[in-house]
Amino acid sequence: MKRLVKGTVWGLVAVLVFSANAWSFGRKTVIKVGINAPITGDIPKVGEGTKYAAQMWLADIEKAGGIEVGGTKYPVELVIEDNESKAESAVKANTKMITEDEVLVIVGPQSSKQAVPAGDVANNYETPMITPWSTNPDSTKDRPYCFRGCFLDPFQGPVLADFITEEFGFTTAAVLYDVASDYPKGLAEFFREAWEKIHGPGSVVAFESFTTKDTDFSSQLSKINKSGAQVLFTPQYYNEVALIVQQAHELGWTGPIVGSDSWGSAETVALCGKDCYGLFFSTHYAAAGAQGATKEFIERYEKTYGYTPDDVAALTWDSLRLVQTAIENTGKITGKIKQDRKAVRDALARVKNFKGITGDMTFTEEGDPNKCAVIVRISDKGEYEFYKLVCPD
């Protein structure tokens, strides 16, 4: 019996060693790209856009027969993990993709709530990660392996404060934000800072908050109504935007309500309806009136999935194309995952004047691109109309 057990164990070891050999000396290394996206949870539309953009990208790669590195074409595989729009699940998804699936590079997570903690995991495991949509500075700060595909909140906050001041000539503002989420909290503070710099301390007359999953904002909005604010700024996600805007109007708010790039989802208008018509928000690109490669992307996406891609889809597309460029620029895939990850990171950091569909990109030392912001107006038909372009100095 003992011998039998021993024999079985050795047999298993032999099989394992053999199969591991067969894997690492196999003829072709498969390039695995991890996608960390909120497929379920609070913002599933964001996850859907991410997945669709990734599948479009994969279709292109497969058509070309793989990514060409140093004269050899390597097949690509996508590993899509659902982070349920939760911070802890995003961390788990990253850990799994890095240690079990052995992905070369990760695209995602999208919201700062997940990208900030998940970026820590990627950086610790020395795996390059690029978050397409996270605008909070902490996602990439002091993390050489973390990059992003969009502008930052310290840029977005002042852009909006300047825009409101110039467009409406207002001097007092109110802010309503989710205190339990990194993105709205960070942006609310950057906006307040920028606004008070222009109009003096105390010019943000109401700075009200709530917690994720709240649906009734009547108390906060009643307070804001009576505060004498001329404009309401609310950097929330699409499911909350609908509730906030409708309740504000029901409580007698008549001034403009301004949002940030989290409004840019295709669902915002679907949930919010007429209440959102005529409102402004800052974002990464405007689908209506796009030109060139951007237009091509939009048309292809519309044809395949039946609706206009939102900014998340466009940024995910750009991030994947950035990853592809970086992999091609490494010049060699060794099959040793650690070495390859380092090579991809270095290549990403070297990318210059990348022509993305959401604008040109060159990474700064922190792994953040210098990009312009677009101010979009929700038209009376519910479309996202280009209104103004604001670029960093």
* 379 binds other proteins, rule: CB under 8 A: no
* 81 binds other proteins, rule: CB under 8 A: no
Q: In the complex, what is the shortest distance from the CB of residue 252 to other proteins, in angstroms, rounded to a whole number? A: 4
* 203 binds other proteins, rule: CB under 8 A: no
249: its two tokens: 């109007």
Q: Alpha helices, DSSP H only, in 68-181?
A: 87-99, 112-124, 153-168
Angle 122-123-128 (CA atoms, 0-180°, nearest 5)? 65
Stretch that binds other proteins, among 36-44, 57-65, 88-96, 352-360 (CB under 8 A): 36-44
Question: Binder to other proteins among 261, 267, 311, 368 (CB under 8 A)?
Answer: 267
Question: Binder to other proteins among 250, 299, 360, 380 (CB under 8 A)?
Answer: 250
Q: In the complex, what is the shortest distance from the CB of residue 319 to other proteins, in angstroms, rounded to a whole number? A: 22
Question: Binder to other proteins among 58, 79, 270, 337 (CB under 8 A)?
Answer: 270
Task: Give the SS3 label for residue 323.
Answer: helix
State which residue, 251 or 349, has the beta carbon closest to other proteins: 251
* 302 binds other proteins, rule: CB under 8 A: no
Residue type, 286: A
- For the chain, helix (H) and strand (E) counts, in that order, are 12, 16
* 113 binds other proteins, rule: CB under 8 A: no
* CB-based burial label for 288 (10 Å; 0-12, 13-18, 19+): middle
- Beta strand ranges found along the chain (DSSP E): 31-37, 67-69, 72-74, 76-82, 105-107, 129-131, 146-148, 173-178, 204-210, 231-233, 257-259, 280-283, 354-356, 359-361, 373-378, 384-390
Question: Binder to other proteins among 215, 304, 339, 362 (CB under 8 A)?
Answer: 215
* 205 binds other proteins, rule: CB under 8 A: no
**Phi, then psi, of 175 in degrees rounded to 5:** -125, 135
State which residue, 39 or 349, has the beta carbon closest to other proteins: 39
Q: Who's near 192: CB < 8 A, 6+ residues apart?
A: 175, 204, 207
Write the interaction track for other proteins spanning residues 228-247; mark x where CB under 8 A is met and - where it is not.
Answer: -----------x--xx--x-
Q: In the complex, what is the shortest distance from the CB of residue 33 to other proteins, in angstroms, rounded to a whole number? A: 23
Q: With beta carbons less than 8 A apart as the criterion, state whether 263 and 238 touch.
A: yes
* 369 binds other proteins, rule: CB under 8 A: no
294: its two tokens: 């951007």
Q: In the complex, what is the shortest distance from the CB of residue 189 to other proteins, in angstroms, rounded to a whole number? A: 13
Q: In the complex, what is the shortest distance from the CB of residue 240 to other proteins, in angstroms, rounded to a whole number? A: 8
Binding site for other proteins (CB under 8 A): 39-42, 44-45, 47, 179, 208-211, 213, 215-216, 218-220, 222-223, 226, 239, 242-243, 246, 249-252, 267, 270-271, 273
